[in-house]
Structure 1
Amino acid sequence: MMMIMFGYSRLLLIGGFNKGLVADRLLTTMKHREMVADFVLCIGDDRSDEDMFEAITRAIAAPRLSPVAEVSLAQLVGNRAKLYTFSRTQRRS
């Protein structure tokens, strides 16, 4: 299945994978191997990052993350993230 997604100043052609699937597989694999994340940082500034934010949010609810794991989600696009920055320079400080 090929998906077309409009990103920040670009057009992405995605063949069956997205950042959300990768994040979900990583967290699921970690849980199966009994590996615990102490901290998860998820930053994005583009529509193509939304799948990743949704996967992390689902992992918190599932729970596939340790209850003591610190999770930070930040994005520039939209306003669905609990935390966000207004500019790229804010992320560097």
Structure 2
Amino acid sequence: MTELFSETSKLGKRGTLVIPAKLRQRFGLKEGSLVITEETAEGILLRPAVAVPTTSLTQEQIEELLLEGINSGESTDIVQQDSDDLRQAAQKAKKS
């Protein structure tokens, strides 16, 4: 089990909060990442959020975004099976 991390942070101007690097790395948070803040009985809960697109993308747009991600250097190599799976999912979505 992963050891839980605790560290005190200082609130900055306009409510800016610096999340410790160890936690940013563990949860994949980078500048511009979306987070959800919730009030709980214990205090404030902060958790990563995922943005869901509200428009449908064409197969070509999906492939272009995937290539852009690969070329950014921040992704892992895509194998042929991944490519085939993505192409099938895009074709299935296009038919729906």
Q: TM-score range by the shorter chain?
A: under 0.3
Larger strand fraction of residues: 1
User: TM-score, structure 2 length as denominator?
Assistant: 0.23
User: TM-score, structure 1 length as denominator?
Assistant: 0.24
Considering Cα pairs closer than 8 Å and 6+ residues apart, tell me whether 1 or 2 has the greater RCO: 1
Determine which structure has more spread, i.e. the larger CA radius of gyration: 2
